[in-house]
Amino acid sequence: MREVFVVSDNILSPIGLTSEQNFTALKENQSGIKKHEDEKLSPVPFHASLFPATINFLTTENTYTKFEQLLIASIDAALINTDIYIRDEKTVLIISSTKGNISLIENEEFSEELKQRVSLHESARLIAEHFNHVNKPIIISNACISGLLALLTGARLIQSGQYENAVIAGCDVITRFILSGFQSFMAVSTSPCKPFDAARDGITLGEGAATVVLSSNKKYADNIRLVAGAVSNDANHISGPSRTGEELALAINNALCSANLSSSDIDFISAHGTATLYNDEMEAKAISLMNMESVPVNSLKGNYGHTLGAAGLIESIITIHSLKENIILPTKNFNNSGVSKPINICSTLQNAELRNCLKTASGFGGCNAALIFSL
């Protein structure tokens, strides 16, 4: 089976406009989360990690939405220093998002034109046309595992020989529709979120975009590899995760088997860590079921908030840079463990020799995903 190498990456977030800026900010324990009072988004104050309203993502005049601008800017930044040709028929474009242009329905009267414009496949078409991409773009929208599933889809398309390269980009922007949905669940934290902490009380939302470029070309053989991945489903509840963690553990185990690795080979886990009571508990149980209680674990939600369809990509890129620099970042706002299993949550910056890292994610509808990145 073909090996899959990480060629290039980019993160656009409120704490940085390149992957390197983001990683530096995380090493300094920075966060984009702030308290906002914006009646266009919420009738009550809320915490979130949002881009400044004045920021421009594209320098030329355009008719793209903020969501599409972010994707185009991130893809451009990831490709600019590579020789990967996005117009090549051997390259596939994959877009990951949970809500896309959903904000368009908030202020416009419904019409067939609006129905078409708000659809994810329309955004994908416009982005593909912007880059003169010759293949039909692929949309991945599967709740909060969308970013990891997009990466896994790209890797499998390369491994199967259908493509040589994959450009995988993910984005979500925070809108009144999205925020009110989480508020209706009473799932939004009253302060910056606290992953795995005993005082956690819900998520904090965030916006961002990220791009990863993958290739099977052997000239990238010295780069980080995406070696394996797997998905599973709880079939438990539309919004509540498994109470046992068995299904996420299954995805982790299947990823390990595909990579010919054991639990003891994993040096670090980048968890989903949403700071909701049930998600963090479920992840802790899954990690325990896999006998990984001593493996260092972190969550980046205290820095970025939950960036939905971009989360898996952003956090995978940070995992890749952690592997490159042998650094495990702390879990911001974590003080005292609030999960029933004694897992090894990182609360300080750590230096460690890293070779194999596990990235996990879970989402509404019971979906779970696990990817393994290796040197």
* CATH architecture entry for 225-374: 3-Layer(aba) Sandwich (3.40)
| Nearest Cα residue to 64 out of 9, 16, 130, 12 | 130
Please say if the pLDDT value at position 81 is more than 90.
no
Residue 236 pLDDT level (bands cut at 50, 70, 90): confident
Task: Round to whole Å and give the CA distance between 225 and 65.
Answer: 33
Extents of the domains making up the chain: 5-220, 225-374
What's the distance, CA 82 to chain centroid? 22
pLDDT in tens, 191-212: 999 999 999 999 999 999 999 9
Contact 344, 195 (CB under 8 A): no
Spatial separation of the C-alpha atoms in residues 50 and 36, rounded to whole Å: 9
Q: Predicted confidence band at 60 (pLDDT cuts at 50, 70, 90)?
A: confident
165 membership: H or E segment, kind and range: strand 165-172
* pLDDT digits 0-9 by tens, 30-54: 999 999 999 999 999 999 999 998 8
Fold matches, 5-220 and 225-374: yes
Q: What is the pLDDT of residues 348-369, one digit of tens each?
A: 999 999 999 999 999 999 999 9
Q: What is the pLDDT of residue 1?
A: 80
Assign domain 5-220 to its CATH architecture: 3-Layer(aba) Sandwich (3.40)
Nearest by Cα to 278 from 200, 182, 356, 181: 200
SS (H, E, C) 295-350: CEEECCHHHHCECHHHHHHHHHHHHHHHHHHCEECCCCCCCCECCCCCCEECCCCE
pLDDT digits 0-9 by tens, 140-167: 999 999 999 999 999 999 999 999 999 9
